[in-house]
Structure 1
Amino acid sequence: MTPPMPRDAEATRSRLLLAARDEFAAVGIAGARVDRIAAVASSNKAQIYHYFGSKELLFDAVFDDMVAATLDEVQIDADDLPEYAGRLHDSYLRRPWVQRLATWYRLERGEDSVIEAVARSNAGKVAAIEGAQRDGRLPTRFTATELLGLVIHTAAFWSGSTPEYGALMRDVDVERRRTVVVEAVAALVRD
């Protein structure tokens, strides 16, 4: 008789996070079902509760992982905001679930829910932009906070568009979409 395979807790946790990411991206927190997540992860509901405590805390873990990956992958460069926007756009293209999870987060968690890592990152980005404005490397027609918002939302322009607008732009290829993002941000930061 073959001895049972040793359990790999980290592998199970990773499978659950991946399955949960896809489930939450598709249907949000309220629509997600732990039995579907467990089945896709080749696990069971008890493991979800063991590792994460609840469906809501599982969503938090998925969201925290996504935020950490984005912050690690796409560092701001206040001296090249157009390219920062382009890299952020590229990140959204490679990871289409990011915008969906962010939308569900806004819808289901609301304005009062703040992720400290994101708040700290945003504060650092605003400080970097303020420094570049103070040194004359960036224009001051927008506040640093406004400029950061414009850059972030421009980067998400394609991934956050409505299906109706997407249908109008179906023939716009990936390279052109990135170019539009980069050139739009370049126009924002021109003196």
Structure 2
Amino acid sequence: MTRADATRARLLEAATEEFSRYGIAGARVDRIAAAAQANKNLIYVHYTNKETLFRAVFEAHVVRLLGEVPFSATDLPAYAGQLYEFFLDNPRLLRLAGWFRLEQGDYDEAVAAIARSNADKVAAIARAQADGRVDGRYPADVVLTLVLATAAAWGSGNPATVSTYDGPDPKIVRLAIEAAVRGVVAGKDSAA
């Protein structure tokens, strides 16, 4: 790894932490540079501005997610369970996604990787529905949204899951997520 690559990697890691805590508006370039042990000007050299750096951070995490969590339209319960575990292991991604939505708008249109991935997933679900492998009660885009939302429901940014205790056993949560998704995609005869 070159020195420039190492600096970029440190900047991305420091920016990930800063943006996941404070969002774009609250993040401070000075704190990012200090945490990365880099000159503040290097942020502008490598990323032009704070917004571009935020997008680079967010896109890097999205690309990692897309590469590490395999999608199967015919096994959506397992996909939802794997996605839940990824979010559990990478809580900053959901916080970054929340900040993106608040401060940048719809990331489907802004981040090409998400738009392509979601379009491909919706098409795969629709094909599986047409082949009878996935229940067709709900449109494919609704199914995908339910799968994604169910997997992300226990994310650190979801106020509905905040409690005074450590929370439920992640294994039990994963089983519940898979059962909920199975109920959506398996059809009324096999959902029980």
The whole-number CA distance in structure 1 between the counterparts of 2:71 and 2:142 is 15
RMSD, aligned α-carbons: 1.5
1:116 partnered with 2:133: no
Q: 1:131 to 1:22 in 2, by over 3 A?
A: same
Match of 2:137 among 141, 148, 154: 141
Q: Do the aligned residues in 1 keep the contact of 2:33 with 2:39 (CA within 8 Å)?
A: yes
Match of 1:178 in 2: 174
2:27 maps to amino acid: A
Scaled by the length of structure 1, the TM-score of the pair is 0.92
1:64 aligns with 2:95: no
Q: What SS class does the counterpart of residue 136 from structure 2 fall into? A: coil
Amino acid at match of 1:90: E
1:101 pairs with 2:107: no
User: In the alignment, is the contact (CA less than 8 A) between 2:126 and 2:140 conserved in 1?
Assistant: yes
Identical pairs, percent: 48
Misfit runs of 4+, over 3 Å: 168-171
Residues 168 and 177 of structure 1: CA distance in aligned 2, closer, same or farther (over 3 Å):
farther
CA distance in 2, matches of 1:157, 1:16: 29
CA distance, structure 2, for counterparts of residue 154 and residue 169 of structure 1: 21
Change in CA separation of 1:121 and 1:62 when aligned onto 2, cut-off 3 Å: same
141, 151, 154: which one aligns with 1:155: 151
The gaps in structure 2 that reach 5 residues or longer are: 188-192
Give 2:86's aligned residue.
Answer: 91
Paired residue type of 1:58: L
Return the index of the structure with the highest Cα Rg.
Answer: 1
- Give the whole-Å Cα distance in 2 for the aligned partners of 1:53 and 1:62: 13
Query: Amino acid of the residue matched to residue 21 of structure 1?
Result: T
- For residues 79 and 190 of structure 1, the distance between their equivalents in structure 2, rounded to whole angstroms, comes to 10
The aligned amino acid for 1:51 is: H
Equivalences, count: 184
